[in-house]
């Protein structure tokens, strides 16, 4: 990124990059914020010093309020297609990333920011968080590849009900659905996610990328095509320095020294 973003706070801690939405008071996404988010995610993906990415919010009580609806007043299909293309680019970048992507969610999480977390590997939420996709209220649908991510994450019937209702659900209900993975005490959320991320950062980057590719991409394929992807990736791993180092370290009863980036 050529300049510091106005609406994204970027922090690096022990090979973990935090990308925090930062447009108070509620993190409503205008076009600039969407563009900055896309650029910040791409920069984190391309930076070899970053081993894990975390999406979070720097705004108290709000993770995301969705799109700033001033952006949509008077908008027509041509301009909307540009907006949705930006959103899909974010989804693709998150899903194609060769490194773990986590989400640390607190407060109210609705719309676009929440949608981005659906393309993360794990979603950690603070107690008391609330989740929703209220687009039905403006006769719209959530456009960050959300309809496709949700149906794969929580199933068709629950996705339809969730989007039809457009209401907020609690962290407990979201966890029961599989929308989030863990609930954490609010004052421990950042520490907890940072610790988890640092543990991931100690593992082979080559192996993490292979796991993410086979699970994320393979999950959208037929079983046979997914198995073919696994065959290809597993075979190629045998040629990597990290695989050789892992075998040697295990047999020599020492800690491995990973070299993959």
Q: Which of the residues are catalytic?
A: 115, 135
Q: Rounded to 5 degrees, what angle do the CA atoms 105, 64, 34 make?
A: 115
Q: Please, which residues have CB within 8 angstroms of residue 5's CB and are 6 or more apart in sequence?
A: 36, 39, 40
In whole angstroms, give the CA distance from residue 1 to residue 25: 25
Orientation angle between helical segments 205-216 and 241-251, nearest 10 degrees: 120
φ, ψ for residue 239, nearest 5 deg:
-90, 0
Distance (Å, whole) CA 129 – CA 125:
7
The region that residue 17 occupies, defined by phi over 0 for left and psi between -120 and 50 for alpha, beta otherwise, is beta
Calpha distance 149→163 (Å, rounded): 13
User: What are the backbone angles phi and psi of residue 61, rounded to the nearest 5°?
Assistant: 75, -10
Cα 65 → chain centroid: 17
Adjacent-strand bridge partners of 140: none
Tokens matching residue 51: 């081993």
Q: Residues of 214-239 as b/e, b for ≥16 C-beta within 10 angstroms?
A: bebebeeeeeeebeebeeebeeebee
28/114 Cα distance (integer angstroms) = 12
């Amino acid at each position: 990124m050529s300049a510091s973003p106005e609406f994204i706070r970027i922090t690096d801690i022990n090979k973990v990059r935090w990308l925090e939405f930062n447009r108070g008071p509620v993190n409503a996404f205008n076009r600039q914020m969407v563009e900055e988010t896309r650029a910040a995610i791409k920069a984190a993906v391309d930076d070899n010093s970053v081993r894990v990415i975390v999406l979070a919010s720097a705004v108290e009580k709000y993770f995301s309020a969705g799109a700033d609806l001033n952006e949509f007043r008077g908008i027509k299909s041509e301009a909307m297609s540009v907006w949705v293309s930006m959103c899909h680019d974010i989804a693709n970048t998150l899903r194609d990333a060769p490194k773990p992507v986590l989400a640390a969610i607190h407060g109210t999480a609705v719309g676009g920011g929440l949608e981005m977390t659906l393309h993360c590997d794990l979603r950690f939420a603070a107690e008391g968080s609330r989740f929703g996709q209220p687009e039905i209220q403006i006769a719209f649908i959530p456009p960050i590849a959300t309809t496709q991510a949700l149906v794969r994450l929580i199933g068709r019937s629950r996705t339809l009900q969730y989007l039809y209702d457009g209401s907020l659900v609690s962290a407990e209900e979201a966890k029961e659905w599989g929308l989030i993975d863990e609930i954490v005490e609010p004052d421990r959320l950042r520490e907890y996610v940072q610790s988890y991320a640092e543990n991931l950062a100690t593992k082979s980057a080559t192996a993490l990328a292979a796991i993410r590719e086979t699970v994320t991409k393979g999950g959208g394929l037929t079983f046979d095509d997914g198995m073919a992807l696994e065959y290809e990736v597993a075979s190629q791993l045998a040629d990597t320095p990290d695989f050789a180092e892992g075998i040697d370290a295990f047999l020599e009863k020492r800690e491995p020294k990973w070299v993959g980036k």
